[in-house]
């Protein structure tokens, strides 16, 4: 494959992530819509650490994060 190093790295990361067991988090968005977010294991570990630090569940952490304004 004739790809740049950045493209090769991107594809390797995609393959690596697809081989890992995904983590599904069900949560309710600020407008009441039920959501399902699929996380890679490293993302799940990071979310779990944030939720633990905030003293709430992973789904509650995502609900609260939905109120953070998007970058312009």
pTM of the model: 0.73
Q: Is residue 35 part of a domain?
A: yes
Residues 14-23: pLDDT tens digits?
898 888 898 9
Q: Within 10 A of 1 (CB to CB), how many other CB atoms are there?
A: 5
- Give me the tens of pLDDT residue by residue for the chain, a chain 72 residues long: 789 999 999 999 889 888 889 899 999 999 999 999 999 888 999 999 999 999 999 999 999 999 998 887
The answer to whether residue 8 is domain-embedded is: no
Q: Three-state SS for 72?
A: coil
Are the C-beta atoms of 25 and 47 separated by less than 8 Å? yes
Domain of 55, in residue numbers: 19-72
**Consecutive H or E run containing 35:** strand 34-39
Residue 69: what are its φ and ψ, rounded to 5°?
-65, 145
Q: Note whether residue 51 is domain-resident.
A: yes
């Amino acid at each position: 494959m004739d790809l740049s190093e950045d493209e090769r790295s991107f594809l390797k990361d995609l393959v690596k992530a697809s081989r890992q067991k995904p983590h599904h988090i069900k949560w309710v968005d600020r407008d009441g819509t039920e959501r399902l977010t699929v996380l890679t294991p490293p993302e799940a570990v990071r979310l779990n650490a944030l939720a633990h630090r905030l003293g709430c569940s992973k789904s509650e952490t995502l609900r609260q994060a939905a109120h953070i304004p998007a970058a312009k």
